[in-house]
Amino acid sequence: MIIMIFIFLLLLFGSHQPILASGNVFGLHLTQPQDIYTAKTIINSSAGDWGWATIVIRTDQLNRQTWQEFFDNCRKFHIQPIIRLATIMEKDCWKKPEPSDVDNLATFLNSLNWPVKDQPVILFNEVNHAKEWGGVVDIKNYTDIAIYTSKKFKKLNPNFKIISAGLDLAAPENPPISKSAPNVYQEIFLYRPEFFEYIDALASHSYPNHGYVGTPKDTGQHSIKGYKWETDFLQKIGVKKNYPIFITETGWPHRQGIRVDNKYFTAQTSANFLVDAISIWNSDPNIIAVTPFIYNYPNEPFDHFSWLDKDEKLMSEYQKIIDLPKSSNQPEQITKFYSQAIRLPFLIFTDTEYTGKITLQNTGQSIWGEKGSFCLSPQTTPNVQVDAICIGSNFIYPNQSITLNFMFKIKSDKEYQGKTQIGWENTDTYQITPFYGKSTIYHADLKIKDKITNFFKKLLK
C-alpha cells in the first residue's frame, strides 16, 4: 500500500521538475559575452567543471549570432549560463518592462540552442530601487510582469527555470525611491501570493553590508548569509516552497581605504574574505551557484569590484580564489539527432553482407564523442542483421553532421512473414522491399522501377 501511495504521488507531482542540487557552486558575474574567453579558466579552475556565469541580456542587444556564439562557448568550455533579463536605459533608469519586451526576450532566448537542459532566467534586477523599474518602485507592477514572464517562458519551454529578481537587502524603506526587502516580499505575498508558485528559485544579492565592509562571520539580512534571512522570512509570512538559491551578486570592494578590524580594506582583504565566504556557501546544500560581482568592469561605478584592472589583467590577489579546489557538476544535456540521409546498395541479395552509409545531424545540446564513443543500437526486424552506429573519437558539435559506414545483411528466413526494415534507436526505420513475393533480391527505394528504367536507358545510349 505504501508503494502504491508513493507511485500515485510521483505521478501527481512529477511534472514539476526541480532544479537539482549543485556540486560546484563557483562562477563569475560577466559583463559581456566575450568575457567568457578569459573567464573560462577561472570558472573551472582547480579541477572545477561546469561552473557558472551570470550575464545580463538587454532588449536592444538581441543579436542571434552573438548570443548563440556565447552559448556555444559555454557548451565548449563547460559553463552553465544564468541569464538576467533587462530592458534599456532611459533617463538614468532601466525602462519598466512591457509584455512586448517579455515576449521578445522569451522568443529570442527560446530560439537559441542552450548548452544544458536547465535554462535559468532571472526576472530583472533589484526592483526595490526606483532606478531599476522606470523611476518609481512599483512592486505590484513587478509582480504582474513577473507572473506574465514566468507563464510566457514556461509555455515556450518547460526547461526554463524562473528565478526571482535579486533584491538590495540593504535598501531602506523610502518610497517611491526605494523599498526595504521585507516590505517587498510582504507586499508581493499580500497582493498575489501565487507569485511564489511561478518561480523555481531565488536570486540573492548577499553582500557584506552595510557599506560592503562586513566579514564572512556576520549573519542576518545584511550579510553574506542574507539568503538565509530571505528564505526564513518567506517561511514566516506563509510561503511554503523551499527554494534553491542562486547568489548572483556578492563580494567585497577593493582599494576602498576603509579600515576593517583595524586594517585597511584592500584587494588582499577582499580576496581573503571571499575565500572564507566560498567555503561557507559551498557547505550549504541549498545554494546552487555563486557568481561574485563583477569579473570585468574596471571603470566607474564598479571599478572597486572588478577582478580585472584597466589593462584587463587579473588582480593578483584573486589568484588564491582560483587556486581553491573545486568540484565537478554534471548537468543534464539533451541529446538529439536527425537522420538526414541513408544510402543502401541498388540491389540487395539475401545472405550477403553489404556496406551502407547514414548521415546524422546533431540537433541536441551535447557534443558527440566528448564523453567517449557515441553509439546507437540497432532496432531492426528479425530478418535483418546490422551493426551499431558509433561516432568513435570524433567530436560532433550541434548543427554538425557526420556520415558513417555500417555493415548489414538480410537473412534468408522462409518462415518470416513481416516487413523488412533497418534502423537504430531513435531514428526513422527504412523499409527494404523484395522485388516480388518471396524474392531473394531486395531494393530500398519505392521508385526502383523508374531507376531500373533509367539505368537501362543509359546503357542503350
Can you give the pLDDT at residue 69? 98
- Taking only Cα atoms into account, the Rg of the chain, rounded to an integer number of angstroms, comes to 28
Can you give the pLDDT at residue 458? 63
Residue (of 230, 330, 216, 316) closest to 275 by Cα position: 216
Q: How far, in Å, are 137, 364, 391, 403, 429 from residue 374 at the CA level? A: 53, 13, 5, 14, 19
Q: Which three cell numbers stand for residue 22?
A: 549543485
Task: Give the predicted TM-score (pTM) of the model.
Answer: 0.88
Averaged pLDDT for residues 80-89: 98
User: At residue 259, does pLDDT exceed 80?
Assistant: no
Averaged pLDDT for residues 199-210: 96
Averaged pLDDT for residues 8-18: 39
Contact status, residue 382 vs residue 92, Cβ threshold 8 Å? no
Backbone angles phi, psi at 191, to 5 degrees: -80, -55
User: At residue 283, does pLDDT exceed 60?
Assistant: yes
Can you give the pLDDT at residue 371? 84
Average pLDDT over the chain, rounded to an integer? 89
The C-alpha atoms of residue 206 and residue 203 are separated, in whole angstroms, by: 9
Averaged pLDDT for residues 150-167: 98
Contact status, residue 296 vs residue 78, Cβ threshold 8 Å? no
**Which residue did the predictor score with more confidence, 323 or 433?**
323
Confidence band for 412, pLDDT divided at 50, 70 and 90 = confident
Can you give the pLDDT at residue 426? 83
In order of start, what are the domains of the chain with their CATH numbers? 15-322 (3.20.20.80), 337-460 (2.60.40)
